[in-house]
Amino acid sequence: MLGLKQSLSLNSNRALGGWTPDSEGTDLVAWYKNKEGISLNGSNVSRWDDSSSSDHNMTQSTEEKQPAYNASTGALTFDKTAAQSLQTTSQISISGDFTVGVRLDPSAINVIVLGDNTINNEFFKIKDSTTLRFKTDGSQVDITVNDGDLTADNYLVVTRNSSNLVSLYVNGTLQTDTETLAGTVDIDAIGVRNPDANPYDGIIKEVQIYDSTSLALTTNVNDYLSNL
């Protein structure tokens, strides 16, 4: 297994323009990096290690719930009919600013991208092709997409600033609709929410989570994800 993980790491993405997520230091909360930190059970992913210094490693011990892996692209393919997901025992909780970036290609709607499978009402969900739902502490907002289709091959960046303004970028384009929602964001799963609800269907290539936001960070995350 060590040899396999080393070989996967050799094909990893190099620094783009000198910036990588770990350039953000401790503001980088979790980084599920394309083509890195992958442990396989046959051709399925049993573990996706956090490439930040936080060790929020995502695992799945149940074989039928392990997503498939494409070594050439670094894509994890989740099958909602099997409720496939990855989960960490190290809780991610962010009460203030955040930036979340994901490279993905969903095959269905009403599916969870990131969520919490131990705490209720915590998730980022593709509600339909033009609506991203963000829910935390029992309250929710729906962000409407005016430029793009959430069921396509996209890179998404969601931000919340110190005024609790939530914004969505689709393929680098800031969407017109913004919403306001405070609360502590809890994440311990990729592809599901409590209790194993609305499982994700489709491809996820990378996830980045920060407990800060700025225009420079948003630009860097968008540029980085665009090259995957």
Q: What's the rounded Cα separation, in Å, for the pair 148 and 170?
A: 7
* Dist CA 185 CA 124 (whole Å): 10
Q: How far apart are CA 92 and CA 210, in angstroms?
A: 10
What's the pTM value of the predicted model, to 2 decimals?
Answer: 0.93
CA angle 100, 181, 175 (to 5 degrees): 55
**Can you tell me the distance from the alpha carbon of 220 to that of 68, in angstroms, rounded to the nearest whole number?**
29
For residues 156-180, one letter each, b for 16 or more C-beta atoms within 10 angstroms of the residue's C-beta and e for the rest, the string is: bbbbbbeeeebbbbbeeebbebebe
Bridge partner residues of 179 (DSSP): 166
pLDDT tens for the chain, residues 1 to 228: 433 443 344 334 444 459 999 999 999 999 999 999 999 999 999 999 999 999 999 999 999 999 999 999 999 999 999 999 999 999 999 999 999 999 999 999 999 999 999 999 999 999 999 999 999 999 999 999 999 999 999 999 999 999 999 999 999 999 999 999 999 999 999 999 999 999 999 999 999 999 999 999 999 999 999 999
CA distance 26 to 176: 30
Q: Which amino acid is at 176?
A: T
